[in-house]
Chain A
Amino acid sequence: DAGVTQSPTHLIKTRGQHVTLRCSPISGHKSVSWYQQVLGQGPQFIFQYYEKEERGRGNFPDRFSARQFPNYSSELNVNALLLGDSALYLCASSLRIAGSSGANVLTFGAGSRLTVL
């Protein structure tokens, strides 16, 4: 079975531009989460979607938005890019939603590395 797939793998943008990152979860997984990982740091939570609804949002500005489609794939959009948005953006899928009973194991994709110049 395919794991979590993300596209594009690498991209370079300039300040002020917009970017869309895409994620396809593991088949059967209904929850998708987005994390930002700056070099040398741990992943930082951006969004979680479950059954196409936003279930959690991290401490990120409104320039960041996301959505989940009926096939459970997801997009992360970032508007008005800043230099500080340069990072590895990780998508993770899981069977369960965090906070529910039982283990919520995240499987991460390889990420989309965004460089903002």
Chain B
Amino acid sequence: QQPVQSPQAVILREGEDAVINCSSSKALYSVHWYRQKHGEAPVFLMILLKGGEQKGHDKISASFNEKKQQSSLYLTASQLSYSGTYFCGTEASGAGSYQLTFGKGTKLSVIP
């Protein structure tokens, strides 16, 4: 089943912070975050494996709550380059799970 992302869209001014949430009804092995700009391929941001770890990359970080099967992406001090659609992709636990299931995406627009 497709993970649910929220919000669907958000508009920020440069320097503001944002949180994007991803929730799944399945037990997860990992959560992946990608950013896609218009007309381009999705670009990998980070992956979180089960264990509740938090990862960060520059001013973008994420957490994974294994008990709740939820992940959040945190964007701090947003820059114009952060604009795009953010997708979470979930990898289910258990044998035979050979796919990422993506949410519908969160469109982030950063304005000056």
Contact = CB atoms under 8 A, between A and B. Distances in A.
Interface in B63-112: 87, 89, 91, 94-105
Contacts, number: 67
Contact of B98 (A43, A44, A97, A103): A97
Interface in B24-56: 29-30, 32, 34, 40-44, 47, 49
Nearest to B87: A42
A56 B55 CA distance: 28
Interface string A22-36: 000000000001010
B17 to A, nearest CB: 24
B87 A43 contact: yes
Contact of B100 (A41, A45, A55): A45
23 contacts: A33-B100, A41-B104, A42-B104, A43-B42, A43-B89, A43-B100, A44-B102, A45-B99, A45-B100, A56-B96, A58-B99, A98-B91, A98-B97, A103-B30, A104-B30, A104-B91, A105-B44, A106-B89, A106-B100, A108-B34, A108-B41, A110-B40, A110-B41
Given A103-B49, A110-B41, A56 B99 contact: yes
Contact of A42 (B29, B43, B102): B102
A52 to B, nearest CB: 15
B104 A99 contact: no
Contacts of A111: 41
Contact of B32 (A41, A55, A58, A106): A106
A99 B95 contact: yes
A106 B44 contact: yes
